[in-house]
């Protein structure tokens, strides 16, 4: 039976590539984004959802319950970043970043636990960033929101273990996506120089870690944060 995989932020970048990866593997993928679907596949369903919108999330989860009778995997991928000096970051931007990167995944996960609970191998995977351990100047709010998401990951793992659900996070290193394309070359070079393996990552590198978390045999792997590129 194919897994039922919910991925946020599937209209572009890593989310779209992850959706295509799991569709290619035969899974049913439910995606959501603020923008229209960019994937056309018989096993793909798209919902127009801003993860900051509680009502839209509830409507999507009700549709998933009706159409798929549950979920096996939730990948909280949708995220926003804004390269800026903290002192020059408007409060509205702070609310937008924390709302999308932290509160959105929390609200979605709150509802999704009810759908994941009956899965034989329920899995929650949060997408974090190496900006957390690197403590990048200019990414303060973004990194803070993701650091909180990591704390959420570790704590939640202890609460959902009773349902046989694992909760882990993957932190991509520098990967060419819409989020990172705006970084100046000097910043990209500095980021790469801090990695143990100094190459840019790809969606396949991220999917490889997520695939490990999703394996039924990984049922004792929970509360873990895995960064790519040798950053720790």
Partner 1 sequence: MEQDAILSIVLKVVEQANLARVNSQRLEVSPTAPLFGPASPLDSLGLVALLIDIEEAFDQAGHPVTLSDERALSQTRSPFRDIPALVSYLAALTRES
Number of residues that bind partner 1 (CB under 8 A): 10
Binding map of partner 1 across residues 41-80, x = CB under 8 A, - = no contact:
---------------------x--x---------------
Phi/psi at 76 (5° precision): -85, 90
Q: Is 22 a catalytic residue?
A: no
Cα separation, 19 vs 147, in Å, equals 25
Contact with partner 1 (CB under 8 A) among 162, 181, 184, 216? 162
Question: Cβ of residue 5: shortest distance to partner 1, in angstroms?
Answer: 21
Contact with partner 1 (CB under 8 A) among 41, 68, 96, 110? 110
**What Cα–Cα distance (Å) separates residue 213 from each residue in 7, 89, 99, 173?**
15, 35, 26, 18
Cα separation, 150 vs 37, in Å, equals 28
Site for partner 1 in 165-194 (CB under 8 A): none
Of 36 and 66, which has the nearer Cβ to partner 1? Answer: 66
Strand-strand pairing, 166-171 and 225-227: parallel
Of 67 and 159, which has the nearer Cβ to partner 1? Answer: 159
In terms of Cβ atoms closer than 10 Å to its own Cβ (0-12, 13-18, 19+), residue 64 is: buried
Of 110 and 190, which has the nearer Cβ to partner 1? Answer: 110
Residues with catalytic roles? 142
């Amino acid at each position: 039976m194919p897994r039922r995989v919910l991925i946020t932020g599937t209209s572009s970048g890593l989310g779209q590539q992850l959706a295509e990866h799991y569709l290619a593997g035969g899974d049913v993928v439910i995606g959501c984004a603020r923008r229209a679907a960019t994937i056309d596949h018989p096993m793909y369903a798209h919902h127009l959802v801003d993860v900051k919108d509680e009502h839209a999330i509830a409507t999507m989860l009700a549709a998933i319950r009706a159409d798929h009778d549950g979920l096996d995997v939730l990948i909280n991928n949708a995220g926003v970043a804004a390269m800026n000096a903290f002192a020059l970051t408007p409060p509205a931007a702070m609310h937008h970043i924390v709302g999308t990167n932290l509160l959105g995944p929390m609200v979605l996960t709150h509802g999704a636990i009810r759908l994941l609970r009956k899965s034989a191998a329920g899995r929650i995977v949060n997408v974090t960033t190496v900006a957390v351990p690197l403590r990048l100047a200019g990414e303060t709010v973004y990194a803070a929101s993701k650091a909180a998401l990591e704390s959420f990951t570790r704590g939640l793992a202890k609460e959902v273990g009773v349902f046989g659900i694992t909760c882990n996070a993957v932190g991509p290193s520098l990967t060419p996506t819409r989020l990172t394309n705006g970084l100046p070359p000097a910043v990209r070079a500095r980021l790469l120089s801090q990695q143990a393996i100094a190459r840019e990552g790809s969606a396949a590198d991220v999917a490889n870690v997520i695939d490990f978390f999703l394996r039924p045999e990984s049922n004792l792997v929970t509360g873990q944060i895995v960064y790519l590129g040798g950053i720790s």
